[in-house]
Amino acid sequence: MVTIYNYQQFRHISAPGWQLGWTWAKKEVIWSMVGAQTTEQGDCSKFKTNPPHCCKRDPTVIDLLPGTPYKDQVANCCKGGVISTFNQDPANAASSFQISVGLAGTTNKTVKVPKNFTLKTPGPGYTCGRATVVRPTKFLMGDGRRTTQALMTWNVTCTYSQFLAQKTPTCCVALSSFYNNTIVGCPTCSCGCQNNNTHPGSCVNPNSPYLQSAIDGPGKYTGQPLVQCTSHMCPVKVHWHVKLNYKDYWRVKVTITNFNYRMNYTDWNLVVQHPNFNNITKLFSFNYKPLSPYGGRINDSAMFWGMKFYNDLLNQAGPFGNAQTEILLQKDPETFTFEKGWAFPRRVYFNGDNCVMPPPDAYPWLPNASPPMKQPWTLKLLVFWTALATLLAYYA
């Protein structure tokens, strides 16, 4: 029995799902599988009758799809490889399958631990360590009065790196407010730059007559992004707008826009860091859970995700490719201010990936708190020469 647990708080594994691979230590084969399947059978020519399910020395396993017949299922299987986070849906934060292995041995002395584990989702990003033998797992019987013990159990830990997953960021942040007409957009080239000369087909205009043919192009089935041509070239943009100011409260509007024509984000989530999140009073159309990365002493991080069957699916780029919410926060007289960009988030993550923020000196400023203008060098030189001329005239 193999079980994949997702212990990450706000990074899930979305469609098309996980791919788990390893290398057998000896000449093992997989006779049969329940709850999953291998992508290739391999060369099973030495088995004349009843060939195994897989004879490859380095099999790759994928989850079965929903709707699989019950005889081919085990608990926590058959979700198409999708694994939720513990915060969003703890009941679906694991995926399991069962394999029957041949030519492996019959005791914990003869069974050898596989090596070179890999986890893809389906692209790179995860790095897996060595398998570590731990205490054998115990299983509780149905009546709750007897337990059975596995012959052998080992654990493999896989860690995620955004830099391994993709070369460029996947989201960016735009800022605006009611007290300033300036809309600070995503920084230029946040996720890449438009260059159809060296990378043709990397983006497409929404009013292009070839839009549908570009979507159905060669990268449709490989998961290659096709984004709308923008100055930032990000698949996802998060817009934080300081909307209203009341006596004891203030209101923020958050809009998530999908610019990817080939991706519907299922069970998406958004994590924002802001010092006033300890006083969230009301939230509209999103689910919310506070995060306490500092052991509960500081509550400045919050996780948001869509409501089931309402906006938990962020549609592909187009008129319906966005999700919105408004947050009502109570003011703390000791810390609240609109000055120096305090009302804007410190960090933003979409599906666990860090989003590119505008530079702090570009934030919308209060009308009476404009950033100081740098004096030109010509003015400094003019003042210097004027002072020098005055000094010479005094000594003359």
Cis peptide bond prior to 372, omega within 30° of 0: no
Say which range, 230-234, 316-320, 365-369, 381-385, has the weakest mean pLDDT. Answer: 381-385
User: How far apart are alpha carbons 91 and 88 in whole angstroms?
Assistant: 9
Cis peptide bond prior to 200, omega within 30° of 0: no
Task: Provide, rounded to the nearest whole percent, the portion of the chain with pLDDT above 70.
Answer: 90
User: How far apart are alpha carbons 177 and 184 in whole angstroms?
Assistant: 10
Q: Quick: pLDDT tens for 104-115.
A: 988 888 999 999
Q: Which residue has the tokens 């998961």?
A: 223
Q: Give me the pLDDT at residue 386, please.
A: 40
User: How far apart are alpha carbons 141 and 132 in whole angstroms?
Assistant: 26
pTM for this prediction? 0.83
Best-predicted range by mean pLDDT (23-27, 47-51, 264-268): 23-27
* pLDDT (mean) for 249-256: 96
User: How far apart are alpha carbons 262 and 215 in whole angstroms?
Assistant: 7
Q: Give me the pLDDT at residue 202, please.
A: 74
pLDDT range class, residue 222, cuts 50, 70, 90? low
Q: Quick: pLDDT tens for 305-351.
A: 999 889 999 999 888 899 999 999 999 888 899 998 999 999 999 99
> What φ, ψ does residue 328 adopt, rounded to 5°?
-105, 120
User: How far apart are alpha carbons 396 and 389 in whole angstroms?
Assistant: 10
pLDDT range class, residue 43, cuts 50, 70, 90? very high
Q: Quick: pLDDT tens for 350-377.
A: 999 999 999 999 999 888 755 544 444 4
* pLDDT (mean) for 192-198: 71
Mean predicted lDDT score pLDDT of the chain: 87
Spell out the domain ranges in the chain.
2-163, 169-362
User: What amino acid occupies position 307?
Assistant: M
What topology does CATH give the domain 169-362? Immunoglobulin-like (2.60.40)
SS3 106: coil
Q: With helix as H, strand as E and coil as C, how does the chain read?
A: CEEEECCCCCCCECCCCCEEEEECCCCCEEEEEECEEECCCCCCCCCCCCCCCECCCCCEEEECCCCCCHHHCCCCCCCCCCECCCCCCHHHCEEEEEEEEECCCCCCCCCCCCEEEEEECCCCCEEECCCEEECCCEEECCCCCCEEECCCEEECCEEECHHHHCCCCCEEEEEEECCEEEEECCCCCCCCCCCCCCCCCCEECCCCCCHHHHHCCHHHCCCCCCEECCCCCCCEEEEEEEEEECCCEEEEEEEEEECECCCCEECCEEEEECCCHHHEEEECCEEEEEECCCCCCCCCEEEEEECCCCCCEECCCCCCCEEEEEEEEECCCCCCCCHHHCCCCCEEEECCEECECCCHHHCCCCCCCCCCCCCCHHHHHHHHHHHHHHHHHHHC
Q: Give me the pLDDT at residue 169, please.
A: 92
pLDDT range class, residue 15, cuts 50, 70, 90? confident
Tokens standing for 230?
């923008």
Distance in Å from the first CA to the final CA of the chain:
98
